[in-house]
Each structure stands twice: as C-alpha cells, then as structure tokens.
Amino acid sequence: MRSWSGWVIALALAWGLAEPASAQLDYGDFSSATLTGKAWSEMGSQNYEAALGYIAKCLELYEAQAKTMQAGLSDYPPNTPPEATSKFWALNDVGTCLFIRGEIELKRGDKSAAKATFQKLVNELKYAQCWDTNGWFWKPADAAKKKILELEFEQP
C-alpha cells in the first residue's frame, strides 16, 4: 500500500509535470544578457528545467537577430576592449545559450540531442564569444566542436 508521504510526492510530481516550467520563471527585463545569466545560474544549481526555460525564451526572442549578426561576419569580431563585443550581443548570448543547452542535454544523458545542439551552434553561430569572469573571452562554437569530438569517444 502506498504511504501517505508517497502520495504527497506523487501528487507533487504530477503537479510539476502538468505545470509548464515557464510559468514559474522570472525573465527579469527579458534582455538576452539576463536570460543567459539566469540559464548559467540555473544549470549550475542543477535546475535544468528552469535553465532550459530561460534558454528557450532567449532563442524565441533573439535567435533571428543573432543569425543576422552572424551573417554579417567573416571572422571573430575584435574583443579588445571587451566592450567592443557588445555590438554583437544577440549573437554572443544566443550562442552561449545553445552551448548551455547542449551541456544540459549531456548531463541528462541525451547524447544525440546534445550533439545536434552543439552542431547547430557550430553551423549557425560560430562567431559567438562569451566573457569568462576569469578575464578573457572564450568561443562557444570552439567549445562545442570539442564536445562533438568527445561524444565520438563514447562506446559504439
């Protein structure tokens, strides 16, 4: 017989499944920087559903602009001084969001989804750059290329 606490957990799970994650999210000022920052933070706390919600919103609002920015580039734009990259805010934030999404998919064991996300980043937003709080820029598409190779290493 199911215990009382078991029913509470089951109900809570059912409620969680029925309620879309987006309804519980605080998008703040809806800027790409805010959404990307929240996605990082939620992934760090292993709140993957919330992170994916912020990422989905960022893509919904800014992916088209990111692709337009990418289309105007033939190389990485200058990143010194760091503020120079702010002109490409949508490209940088949406690219970073795709990288976070791939990481979450990996952490959840969905390797084929992760590979597809990383490949999308490499194919569509390869000149995105992301500021590392240690004091330099890193390149999400390069990191994604590495992740794709790492996935090849898995057992066949």
Partner 1 sequence: MAALSFTSVAAENQPVRTERPAEVTLGPNPAGDWRFFVNGREFPVHGAGGAGAPGLLEKLKEAGGNCVRTWGIDALEVRMSNGDRFMDRAHQLGLMVVPGLWVQHERHGFDYSDPAFITRQRTQLLAQVRAYRDHPAVLAWGLGNEMEGPASPTGSVVVLQEVEELAKLIKQEDPHHPVMTVIAFTGGGKVANLVQYCPSIDILGLNTYGAAGGAGSAIKAAGWTKPFAITEFGVNGFWEVGKTDWGAPYEPTSQEKGRSFYAAHRMVFELNDGKELCVGTFAFLWGWKQEKTDTWFGMFLPTLEKLAPVDAMTKVWTGHWPTNRCPVLNALNSPAAAKRIPPGQEFPATVEVEDPEVGVRLAGQIREYGPERGR
H helix or E strand, kind and range, residue 2: none
- The residue among 81 and 156 lying less far from partner 1, judged by its C-beta, is 156
- The residue among 49 and 142 lying less far from partner 1, judged by its C-beta, is 142
- DSSP β-bridge partners for residue 131: 137
- The residue among 69 and 144 lying less far from partner 1, judged by its C-beta, is 144
Q: Answer yes or no whether residue 19 interacts with partner 1 by CB under 8 A.
A: no
Tokens for 51, please give them. Answer: 């992170």
Please state, in angstroms and rounded to a whole number, the distance separating the CA atoms of residues 10 and 50: 21
Min. distance of Cβ 45 from partner 1 in angstroms? 14
H helix or E strand, kind and range, residue 130: strand 130-132
Q: Answer yes or no whether residue 132 interacts with partner 1 by CB under 8 A.
A: no
Residue 33: Cβ within 10 Å count = 15
Min. distance of Cβ 20 from partner 1 in angstroms? 29
Residues making contact with partner 1 (CB under 8 A): 139, 142, 145-147, 149-156
